[in-house]
């Protein structure tokens, strides 16, 4: 098998669990957050810096790498690991979400999707078989089945047809998959309809994938709907297989996702908002570009021990943003990634110690405090996250 996964510790009061995931490029602990390297690069960061924070798995995007530089060039370079000089595990998504969200024009058929590139308008076609071929050329450790991510909102009939198409495409992806050193994950769909989510989880579980993505969430639906869908699929997906909630990375969502049995997460949020001057702290986000930080000589987060917080102040990082210095974006991104890495470490420790419910309560109360008191958040509004960048 391309991967091996085992559950090590479970929480008696929630569905939270720790595990160990072994891949062809190393072993990692779960639950885990995966930084997004859309174009084979975690924006503003070098691979050594990402590794130095402690990450042992990142995500790259099939759609973007298909359009440029092209999968054959990456194959010629020796695969993504050599191409981008990353020694650890890589997961590639199937490109499905980007085809449906970024392509200028698209036509969905049973065979696949015809679309126009968001870069130059050129016409392309991706089928389940094409997506697998591209991902096999890229050479990631974990690859994803091609799916249709239904928009939110959508009516029940559209969600049902989309889910059934995703199931047929999943079967075709399984049939097309050839590389034994890559693990192919199926993707649960069904929008915000509990019975569709349950049906999708059961159908994919019967296909016996080595792991399962949970897609089509964090696309505009109310937070409580996302959490409800997680609870539905958590009771159905095989306990012994990893569960991956796609495109979710806000700190409170990571905590609530772990509480509902999720093992893997990814999102562009920490890097995207970091480049715009918004950073995570234990008491919520702050927009360090704001005037209130001009003479603030505290670290970004006084409770954080990352490289950035040990060496730089809010005032200095604000100055960098105001001066248009790229270092400001780099330091804010670095801190945000380190913050999420530490959060995952802390959750794993709490699960192992049997204190996860207390940790969850304390963290969420502190993190949400700024919303209740009006402190901690800057005057501006950070850009909304999305599934690729």
Q: Do residue 224 and residue 289 come from a single domain?
A: no
Read off the pLDDT of each residue in 222-236 and give the average, rounded to a whole number: 97
Q: How confident is the model over 325-336, as a mean pLDDT?
A: 98
pLDDT on residue 101: 82
pLDDT for position 374: 47
Confidence of residue 171 (pLDDT cuts 50, 70, 90): very high
Q: Which residues span the domain enclosing 255?
A: 4-266
Give the tens place of pLDDT for each residue, 55-114: 999 999 999 999 999 999 999 999 999 999 999 999 999 988 898 788 778 899 999 999
Does 387 map to a domain?
no
Range scoring the smallest mean pLDDT among 149-163, 200-214, 371-385: 371-385
Q: What is the pLDDT of residue 385?
A: 47
Kindly tell me if the per-residue pLDDT of 378 is higher than 80: no
Q: Report CA torsion sign: 346, 348, 349, 351.
A: positive
Q: Quick one: what percent of the chain has pLDDT higher than 70?
A: 95
Assess whether 87 and 125 both reside in one domain.
yes
pLDDT of the residue at 375: 42
CA distance 375 to 324: 26
Q: What average pLDDT is seen over the chain?
A: 94
As beta bridge partners, residue 19 has 7, 30
- Compute CA distances 255 → 207, 211, 227, 282, whole Å: 29, 21, 11, 13
Quick one: which H or E segment has residue 143?
strand 142-144
Chosen domain end from 266, 291, 307 = 266
Listed in sequence order, the residues at least 6 apart from 191 whose beta carbon sits closer than 8 Å to its beta carbon are: 150, 152, 154, 159, 162, 163, 197, 216, 221
Q: Does residue 388 form part of some domain? A: no
**Percentage above 90 pLDDT, the chain:** 91
- Intra-chain end-to-end CA distance of the chain, in Å: 32
Instruction: Give the number of other CB atoms < 10 A from CB of residue 158.
Output: 13
Q: Final residue of a domain: which of 251, 266, 281? A: 266
What pLDDT, on a 0 to 100 scale, did the predictor assign at position 294?
98
Residues 225 and 356 in one domain: no
Q: What is the pLDDT of residue 373?
A: 47
Q: How many domains does the chain have?
A: 2
Asked if 64 and 170 sit in the same domain, the reply is yes
Q: Are residues 249 and 114 in the same domain?
A: yes
Whether residue 219 sits in one domain with residue 290: no
Question: Is residue 386 one of the residues assigned to a domain?
Answer: no
Reference 199, options 241, 229, 244, 239; nearest CA is: 229
Residue 137: give its domain's CATH number: 3.20.20.105
Closest Cα to residue 226, out of 261, 256, 201?
256
Please report the pLDDT score of residue 380 as a whole number. 37
Same domain for 309 and 286: yes
Q: Is residue 379 part of a domain?
A: no
Q: In terms of domains, do 40 and 76 share one?
A: yes
Within-domain flag for 148: yes
- Pick from 201-215, 230-244, 358-372: least confident: 358-372
Is residue 93 among the annotated active site residues? yes
pLDDT-based confidence at residue 388 (cuts at 50, 70, 90): low
For residue 330, CA distances in Å to 42, 217, 247, 300, 307 come to: 11, 29, 22, 13, 12
Instruction: Look at residue 371 in the predicted model and tell me its pLDDT.
Output: 63
Annotated active-site residue 266? The verdict is: yes
- Give the C-alpha separation, 5 to 375, whole Å: 42
| 313 and 342, same domain (yes or no) | yes
Tell me which of 141, 263, 266, 301 is the catalytic residue. Answer: 266
238 has a pLDDT exceeding 70: yes
Residue 383 has pLDDT above 60, yes or no: no
pLDDT of residue 100: 78
* 378 assigned to some structural domain: no
CA distance 188 to 235: 13
100 and 173: one domain? yes
Shared domain check, 250 and 305: no
pLDDT in tens, 28-60: 999 999 999 999 999 999 999 999 999 999 999
Return the HEC string of 190-254.
CCCCHHHHHHHHHHHHHHCCCCEEECCCCCCCCHHHHHHHHHHHHCCCCCCCCEEECCCCCHHHH
Q: pLDDT tens digit string along 361-373?
A: 999 999 998 664 4
Render pLDDT for 275-299 as a digit per residue (tens, 0 to 9): 999 999 999 999 999 999 999 999 9
Domain check: are 74 and 89 in the same one? yes
Q: How confident is the model at residue 376 (pLDDT cuts 50, 70, 90)?
A: very low
Q: What is the pLDDT of residue 369?
A: 81
| 151, part of any domain | yes
Q: Is the pLDDT of residue 127 over 90?
A: yes
Is it the case that residue 197 has pLDDT exceeding 60? yes
């Amino acid at each position: 098998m391309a991967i091996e996964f085992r559950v090590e510790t479970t929480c008696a009061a929630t569905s939270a669990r720790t595990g160990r995931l072994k891949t062809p490029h190393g072993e990692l602990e779960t639950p885990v957050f995966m930084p997004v390297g859309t174009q084979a690069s975690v924006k503003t960061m070098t691979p050594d810096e990402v590794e130095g924070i402690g990450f042992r798995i990142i995500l790259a995007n099939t759609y973007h790498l298909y359009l440029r530089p092209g999968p054959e060039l990456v194959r010629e370079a020796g695969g993504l690991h050599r191409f981008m000089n990353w020694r650890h595990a890589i997961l590639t998504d199937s490109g499905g979400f980007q085809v449906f969200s970024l392509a200028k024009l698209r036509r969905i058929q049973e065979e696949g999707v015809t679309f126009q590139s968001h870069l130059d308008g050129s016409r392309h076609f991706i089928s389940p078989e094409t997506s697998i071929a591209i991902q096999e050329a890229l050479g990631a450790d974990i690859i994803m089945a091609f799916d249709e991510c239904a928009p939110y909102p959508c009516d029940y009939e559209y969600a049902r047809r989309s889910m059934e198409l995703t199931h047929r495409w999943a079967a075709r992806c399984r049939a097309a998959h050839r590389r034994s050193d890559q693990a192919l994950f199926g993707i649960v769909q069904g929008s915000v309809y509990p019975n569709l989510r349950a049906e999708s989880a059961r159908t994919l579980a019967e296909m016996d994938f080595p792991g399962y993505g949970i897609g089509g969430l964090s696309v505009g639906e109310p937070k409580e709907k996302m959490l409800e869908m997680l609870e539905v699929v958590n009771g159905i997906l095989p306990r012994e297989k990893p569960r991956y909630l796609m495109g979710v990375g806000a700190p409170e969502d990571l905590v609530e996702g772990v509480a509902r049995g999720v093992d893997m997460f990814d999102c562009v949020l920490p890097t995207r908002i970091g480049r715009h001057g918004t950073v995570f702290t234990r008491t919520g986000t702050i927009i360090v570009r704001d005037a209130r930080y001009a003479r603030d000589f505290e670290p970004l987060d006084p409770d954080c021990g990352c490289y950035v917080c040990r060496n730089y102040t809010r005032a200095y990082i604000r100055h960098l943003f105001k001066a248009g210095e790229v270092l400001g974006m780099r330091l804010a991104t670095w801190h945000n990634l380190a913050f999420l890495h530490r959060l995952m470490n802390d959750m794993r420790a709490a699960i192992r110690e049997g204190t996860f419910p207390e940790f969850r309560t304390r963290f969420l109360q502190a993190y949400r405090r700024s919303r209740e008191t009006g402190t901690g958040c800057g005057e501006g509004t950070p850009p909304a996250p999305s599934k690729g960048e």
